[in-house]
Structure 1
Amino acid sequence: MVSKAICYHLPVYLYYLYVVTYDFVNIEHGSSGYGGKFKFLTVWNEVFQLLYFGIATLNDFCGSDVRPSHLNSKDVQGRKSILQKLRDMLLASVIFPAGMFVVCTFWGIYAVDRELIFPKKLDGLIPVWLNHALHTFILPLLLVELAIVYHQFPRKRTGLSVLFTFALAYLIWILWIAYVSDFWVYPVLKVMHAHHRVVFIGTLLVFFSVLYLIGDFLNQILWGKEIQAGVMEMKKK
């Protein structure tokens, strides 16, 4: 019997494969200069979304879908595949918070002054559907993922450590680009004084943490019975 997870993961994986391929093959904007397209968090995010749904699809076919309520099941035996563990860790620590971050910051800055994030000149270079694929549709796709697939979130310390590693890696990358090429990836950073940048970046890191906690909260709301089953099983041991 085909699981609903496969019916969701495979089409979304193919969708992101098309989005990423179209972006890299047909859109020249951002390709030039130091770092190429990988200057942008949006590109990091679309590649990570593709990677995640690829791993999730692969796990559906040859991995596992072990839940706390399965721990006493004779046919499951409470064993998780490496793919399932990787899927859950990625979703909780990078994919959900990074995806939400891209959507919220893009449209937040766009609402204040679009020239700081997506100048009007880009309207003729980037199709509307691609803009929404990169900055809008991420949100509903992730919410559906949380709703139909159980994920075991790591301990908050572990999850936040992975998230901060990802965020700091990107931060160091764009600061390095600014240093070696005198080019600020995001114009909003260029117009700020140094101490304003520190406050702004610090605020964004806090926002990253909040998004992680929101993902954890939603997972508990949607899968409370499964999580409680796991807690009860741990108490028995």
Structure 2
Amino acid sequence: MTLTIRRVYHIAAFSWYAFVVKNLAAKDGEQLPPGIFVYGGPWKYLTFLNLLLQMLFFGVAALSDLQAGNKAESTLNRCKDLLFSVFAFPVGTFVVVLFWTIFAYDRELVYPATIDTFFPPWMNHAMHTLVLPFLLGEVVVQPHIYPQTKHALQALGGVGAAYLFWIIWVYLSVGIWVYPLLAHFSTPGLVGLFFFNMSVVVLLYLLGNKLNSRFWSKDVTSGGH
């Protein structure tokens, strides 16, 4: 894939996410359904944090494209590979898969119908659908060097635990679960849900590694296990 195509793709993706984040952040302070932006605003939602993650990744990727060819091993390039392989692909794919799975079962558990009044359909799909095509496009546009699996899983586990503590803190502070679904679980159930979700994220990390290796088998070498 030519450098020009990569540059256009990365700049376009970054611009799109910047546009979505700006529109979503503008909703903070409006008259929204009870509990939506109470305590922590949009920062308590994995969907919003994922949008920031995707915007950060594509921004770093766009900057990396501007480097000369002999700087392929630069810190910026390594940061780009780390962001995509360990965080952007598995977390972004997880958000899409989990959201639409729960939405199909009972949308009130994750995205109550009252939200439709404030967030138009295009914004819902921008947050929960288009993330996946952008990530799959990145797999096609450019190869990525994956770190050692044990290091990647340690990083994913640390980020997952940090987010878990954050949503528990929100609940203890204002008595509202970030997602209505969580109110249906006991404490052991919440622990089990966390480990289940982390297992799915791990599988998605391995999937991303496999896709990267298959598509770019002659161009990139994985960091191994």
The yes-or-no answer on 1:50 pairing with 2:55 is yes
Deviation at 1:41, TM superposition (A): 0.3
2:74 equivalent in structure 1 = 81
Q: Does 1:111 align with 2:104?
A: yes
1:58 alignment partner AA:
L
Quick check: 1:63–1:81 contact (8 Å CA) kept in 2? no
- Structure 1 stretches of 4+ with a deviation exceeding 2 A read 26-32
Percent identical among aligned pairs is 35
1:94–1:166 Cα contact (<8 Å) kept:
no
Determine the C-alpha separation between the residues in 1 that align with 2:37 and 2:220.
47
TM-score normalised according to structure 1 size: 0.87
- Which residue of 161, 168, 171 corresponds with 2:154? 161
CA RMSD of aligned residues (A): 1.9
Give the letter for the 2:133 counterpart: P
Paired positions, count: 218
* 8 Å contact from structure 1 (residues 93, 159) kept in 2: yes
2:165 is matched with which residue?
A: 172
Deviations 1:47-102 (A, max 9, x none): 111111111101111365xxxxxxxxxxx4x8511110000001011100110010
On the 8 A contact 1:5/1:149 being kept in 2, the answer is yes
Name structure 1 gaps, 5 residues minimum. Answer: 65-75, 232-237
Q: In the alignment, which of 37, 40, 44 is matched to residue 42 of structure 2?
A: 37
Q: Return 78-87 or 94-103, whichever deviates more.
A: 78-87
TM-score normalised by structure 2 residue count: 0.91
Local SS of the residue matching 1:224: coil
| CA deviation after TM superposition for structure 1 residue 2, in Å | 5.4
Counterpart position of 2:25: 24
Corresponding residue to 1:62 among 67, 70, 80: 67
Do 2:3 and 2:65's aligned partners in 1 also have CA atoms closer than 8 Å? no
Letter in 1 for 2:66: F
Contact 1:34–1:181 at 8 Å: present in 2 too? Answer: yes
Counting only pairs closer than 5 Å after superposition, residues 125-136 of structure 1 correspond to structure 2 as 125-136=118-129
Amino acid at match of 2:120: P
The farther-off stretch of 82-91 and 29-38 is: 29-38
Residue in 2 that maps onto 1:205: 198
SS of the residue aligned with 2:199?
helix
Aligned amino acid, residue 222 of structure 1: F
Aligned partner letter, 1:108? T
Whole-angstrom distance in 2 between the partners of 1:63 and 1:123: 46
2:114 — aligned with what?
Answer: 121
CA contact (8 A) 1:63 1:83 kept: no
Conservation of the 8 A alpha-carbon contact between 2:103 and 2:110: yes
- The reply to whether residue 5 of structure 1 matches residue 27 of structure 2 is no
- Paired with 1:101 and 1:56, the residues of 2 have a C-alpha distance of 21
Which residue is equivalent to 1:219?
212
Structure-2 separation of matches of 1:63 and 1:216? 26
Is residue 142 from structure 1 mapped to residue 135 from structure 2 by the alignment?
A: yes
1:181 CA drift (Å): 1.6
Report the secondary structure of 1:225's partner residue.
coil
- Give the secondary-structure state (helix, strand or coil) at the position aligned to 1:3: helix
- Larger-Rg structure: 1
Which structure 2 segments of 5+ residues have no match?
none
